[in-house]
C-alpha cells in the first residue's frame, strides 16, 4: 500500500513537472510569435487533445442592425427636413375704408375775412387696385360769421393713392366737387366749384378692422367772385371691410 502511494506520487510529480515545463515553453512562444504558435502539431501529449479554434463560432458574432432607410427621405443637409417656418408681417387687405371724425376748417370768405368752423368729416374709399382707390368725401362744419351762424359744406370725389408700411398706411388724394358757404353775402352766391388736395396717415394698432387717422388738406373754392384756399384738419376712426 505504501509502495503504491509512492508510485502514484512519483507519477503525479512527473506530470506536474512536465506540465510546468510545457507551460513555460508555451508562454515564451506566445510572447514571441503570438496566438498562431498554438497548434496540435508542436504540442506534447497534454495538448494533443486540445484543438485551437481557427474560426470564430457563429454565435459569437451578432449582426449589427442596419439603419432603416425611409423611402423617399430627403438627403441630409439638403434643408428639406427643416420644418416649415411661420409667415409673419402679412396683413389682410380690405377694399373698403369708411372714415368718420372731427374736422376743423378755417374758411377764408374774402380777402381779409375768415371764419373758424368745426364739424364732422365723412369719407369712403374703394380700392379697385392694391394701392389706388376711388375716394369720396363730405364735410359739414359750423361757425359764426358777422354775428350770424355760418355753415360750410364740402362734397367731392376723386382718387387716392396709398403706400402701406407694416401697421401704417401713408396716403394722398385729390378730389373735385362743390363747396357751399352760408349765410348769403353781398359778394355773390353761396355755392361754387371746389377741390381738395392733401393726405393722411392711418395707424392700425392690433391688426384690427379699425384704424386711427390723421388727415390734412387744402380746400380750394371759387365763391363771391374770388378764390379761397382754406386749410382743413381731420382726426377720427377708419373702418375697413
What would the DSSP string read from start to end of 187-205? TB-SEEEEEEEEEEEEE-S
pTM of the model: 0.60
What's the pLDDT band for 153 if we cut at 50, 70, 90? very high
104-151 tens-digit pLDDT:
999 998 888 899 999 999 999 999 999 999 999 999 999 998 888 999
**Which one is predicted more confidently, 119 or 91?**
119
CB distance 169 to 201 below 8 Å: yes
- In the chain the domains, ranked by start, together with CATH numbers, are 2-53 (no CATH), 96-240 (2.40.160.20)
* Percentage of the chain modeled with pLDDT above 70: 61
> Shortest CA distance to 235 belongs to which of 197, 196, 201?
201
pLDDT at 206: 79
Residue 58: its pLDDT value, please?
Answer: 47
What's the pLDDT band for 152 if we cut at 50, 70, 90?
A: very high
What pLDDT score was predicted for residue 30?
A: 52
Average the pLDDT over 14-22 and give the result: 54
Of 207 and 77, the one with more pLDDT = 207
Question: Does residue 156 register a pLDDT over 80?
Answer: yes
From the number of C-beta atoms within 10 Å of its C-beta (0-12, 13-18, 19+), residue 105 rates as: buried
Q: Check pLDDT > 90 for residue 97.
A: yes
pLDDT of 233 strictly over 50:
yes
CA distance 110 to 48: 136
Contacts of 18 (CB under 8 A, 6+ apart): 44, 46
Residue 65: pLDDT above 80?
no
How much is the mean pLDDT over the chain?
76
Which segments within the chain are labelled E, that is strand? 96-110, 113-127, 132-145, 148-165, 168-182, 191-203, 210-223, 226-240
Q: Give pLDDT, residue 208.
A: 81
Q: How far is the C-alpha of 145 from the C-alpha of 64, rounded, in Å?
A: 100
CA distance 232 to 152: 12
The residue that leads in pLDDT, 188 or 35, is 188
Smallest CA-to-CA distance from 43 within 28, 25, 56 is with: 25
Average pLDDT, stretch 52-58?
48
Of 80-89, 124-133, 201-210, which gets the smallest average pLDDT? 80-89
Q: How many CB atoms lie within 10 A of CB 18?
A: 13
Residue 155 has pLDDT above 80, yes or no: yes
Amino acid at each position: 500500500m505504501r509502495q503504491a502511494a509512492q508510485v502514484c506520487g512519483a507519477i503525479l510529480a512527473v506530470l506536474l513537472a512536465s506540465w510546468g515545463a510545457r507551460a513555460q515553453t508555451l508562454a515564451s512562444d506566445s510572447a514571441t510569435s503570438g496566438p498562431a504558435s498554438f497548434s496540435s502539431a508542436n504540442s506534447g501529449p497534454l495538448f494533443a487533445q486540445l484543438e485551437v479554434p481557427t474560426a470564430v463560432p457563429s454565435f459569437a458574432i451578432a449582426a449589427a442592425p442596419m439603419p432603416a432607410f425611409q423611402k423617399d427621405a430627403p438627403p441630409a443637409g439638403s434643408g428639406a427636413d427643416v420644418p416649415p417656418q411661420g409667415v409673419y408681417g402679412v396683413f389682410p387687405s380690405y377694399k373698403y375704408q369708411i372714415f368718420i371724425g372731427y374736422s376743423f376748417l378755417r374758411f377764408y370768405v374774402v380777402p381779409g375775412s375768415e371764419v373758424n368752423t368745426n364739424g364732422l368729416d365723412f369719407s369712403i374709399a374703394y380700392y379697385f387696385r392694391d394701392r389706388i382707390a376711388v375716394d369720396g368725401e363730405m364735410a359739414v362744419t359750423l361757425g359764426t360769421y358777422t354775428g350770424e351762424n355760418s355753415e360750410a359744406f364740402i362734397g367731392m370725389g376723386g382718387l387716392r393713392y396709398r403706400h402701406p408700411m407694416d401697421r401704417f398706411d401713408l396716403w394722398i388724394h385729390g378730389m373735385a366737387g362743390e363747396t357751399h358757404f352760408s349765410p348769403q353775402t353781398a359778394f355773390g352766391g353761396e355755392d361754387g366749384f371746389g377741390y381738395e388736395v392733401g393726405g393722411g396717415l392711418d395707424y392700425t394698432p392690433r391688426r384690427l378692422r379699425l384704424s386711427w387717422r390723421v388727415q390734412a388738406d387744402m380746400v380750394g373754392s371759387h365763391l363771391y367772385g374770388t378764390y379761397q384756399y382754406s386749410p382743413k384738419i381731420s382726426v377720427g376712426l377708419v373702418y375697413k371691410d
